[in-house]
Structure 1
Amino acid sequence: MSHFRNFKKIMAVAAATTMLMLTGCGKSISTSDVNDTPPTTNSNQSGNIIVLTLHPDAAPITCENFEKLVNEGFYNGLTFHRVVDEFMAQGGDPKGDGTGGSSDTIKGEFAANGVNNPLSHQRGVVSMARSMDYDSASSQFFICYTGNYASSLDGQYAAFANVTEGMEVVDDFMKVERDLNSMGEMASPKTPIKMEKVEMIAPDENGAPRVMITMNDFIQK
């Protein structure tokens, strides 16, 4: 039975990304709007902070697109609409149901699409959701809870970042009560898990870009 449950979880990822009806066509993407003096993680008082470190060396197109959306304020107020226990949390959809995205789609930077991306889908790794079309990713992304599914995700999805602070906040998503979603998963949060503010912050000590996500108080006291 455990093998069957694992198989169902893996198939659920494929089903969810198939449902992403993203539109748009490869417009030129620029990151010229990045602040000259981005804030540090000390600029917010909330304890619900998640920091992502991007890896443009592994997925330059994906990182550039993600930074562009962050600088435009695209993610502010959006939610994590799908949380699957011990698997992943998915968010970044303006429709909030897994069917939306931004106007631009990008090339999928993973092996099945002819791109050498060395990042593996281990715990805390951030990757792009997509439809069956390899080049359909736009704004939706997911954060891995475990590396148990790396063998099915590696080479098929564009990993581009990892959580370097606040993984315990991502773990807390699993404490939120959930309803059945359209795929029959108990994965749709009853209380919105909202990204109140998403912004670029100062690079890490190696110069890697970083993103800070300030979450709402999604756990009911």
Structure 2
Amino acid sequence: MKRYFSIIAVMALVLCMLVGCGSKKDDTSSKSAKQEETVAPESTDNSGQDAETSDSSSDDTNQLSGKHHVVIKVKDYGNIKVELDADTAPISVTNFVKLAKQGFYDGLTFHRIIDGFMIQGGDPNGDGTGGSDETIKGEFSENGVENNISHVRGTISMARSSENDSASSQFFIVQSDSTYLDGQYAGFGTVTSGMDIVDKICKDTPVTDTNGTVEKENQPVIDSIKVVD
């Protein structure tokens, strides 16, 4: 009888050890997933949930083509000049130009900054939860759209949530090559002048965590985004 109970005790101990190992593995996987989420330039924009998936920017008859140029004026820093490629990302460019012409971006901020990665802005709430009234189709290969704009230094791209077609107004400018984002985010242009300003913003701005969160009083202000042509 004693031997019988000893066998049961040993089996119970082994079972506990296996369960413990399994829990540790799951926890590691959870941590890895969480780390990957914080690296991506995502928004938690819920502003377009009740709207149609795509706005008028997705209508072929309304889409821009060719190259377009904008100037992002950042308060106390200077101008970032950007060339937009509507031949590659017509929906994203049309949406961005439309919002800029409406003055949507004037007075908004860069709310998320990660030195060595990117600066993200264009959220009216200033915390990653806001956007414009409409969402657009994500122009990247994982969403069935060919886009050869790589996320190298100077690329401007649309931020989004985990939903492929959730981008609206938030955008990010890549500070350091991040080509692992290719195929997952819609690059739609390139900075032609002012990457020194992006570098300075990344260097100067204090953040509260590794996700690049910036307190509202420290967020660099976008005075305006003007469409040149």
Task: State the Cα deviation string for residues 70-101 of structure 1 (Å, max 9, x = none).
Answer: 01000000000010010010000000000000
User: CA, structure 1 residues 196+120, in 2 after alignment: closer, same or farther (shift >3 Å)?
Assistant: same
Normalised TM-score (structure 2): 0.72
Distance 2:70 2:164 in 1: 35
Distance 1:90 1:21 in 2: 17
Aligned to 2:95: 65
Distance 1:49 1:128 in 2: 20
User: 3-state SS of the aligned residue for 1:103?
Assistant: coil
User: 3-state SS of the aligned residue for 1:146?
Assistant: coil
Task: State the Cα deviation string for residues 153-201 of structure 1 (Å, max 9, x = none).
Answer: 10000000111011111111122242325xx535415523011011101
1:17 maps to a residue whose letter is E
Task: State the Cα deviation string for residues 6-52 of structure 1 (Å, max 9, x = none).
Answer: 998643134x62523241322324998x9xxx9997xxxx8601111
Consecutive unaligned residues of structure 1, counting only runs of 5 or more, are 1-5, 203-221
Aligned to 1:141: 171
- Residue 17 in 1 paired to residue 42 in 2? yes
Distance 1:40 1:159 in 2: 15
Distance 2:223 2:165 in 1: 28
Larger Rg: 2
Q: Structure 1 or 2: larger helix share?
A: 2
User: 3-state SS of the aligned residue for 2:95?
Assistant: helix
User: 3-state SS of the aligned residue for 2:220?
Assistant: coil
2:203 maps to a residue whose letter is K
Instruction: State how 1:26-45 maps to structure 2 within 5 Å.
Output: 26-29=54-57
User: CA, structure 1 residues 156+40, in 2 after alignment: closer, same or farther (shift >3 Å)?
Assistant: closer
Identity of aligned residues (%): 44
Distance 1:106 1:65 in 2: 8
Check whether the contact 1:50–1:169 (CA below 8 A) recurs between aligned residues.
yes
Aligned to 2:196: 168
Normalised TM-score (structure 1): 0.74
User: 3-state SS of the aligned residue for 1:83?
Assistant: strand
Instruction: State how 1:1-221 maps to structure 2 within 5 Å.
Output: 10-14=36-40, 17=42, 19-23=44-48, 24-25=51-52, 26-29=54-57, 48-147=78-177, 149-151=178-180, 153-180=181-208, 185-188=211-214, 190-202=217-229
Aligned to 1:215: none
Check whether the contact 2:152–2:176 (CA below 8 A) recurs between aligned residues.
yes
User: CA, structure 1 residues 40+196, in 2 after alignment: closer, same or farther (shift >3 Å)?
Assistant: closer
Consecutive unaligned residues of structure 2, counting only runs of 5 or more, are 1-31
Distance 1:39 1:115 in 2: 23
Aligned to 1:205: none
Task: State the Cα deviation string for residues 79-132 of structure 1 (Å, max 9, x = none).
Answer: 000100100100000000000000010000000000000000000000000011
User: 3-state SS of the aligned residue for 1:116?
Assistant: coil
2:187 maps to a residue whose letter is A
User: CA, structure 1 residues 85+70, in 2 after alignment: closer, same or farther (shift >3 Å)?
Assistant: same
User: CA, structure 1 residues 61+159, in 2 after alignment: closer, same or farther (shift >3 Å)?
Assistant: same
1:185 maps to a residue whose letter is N
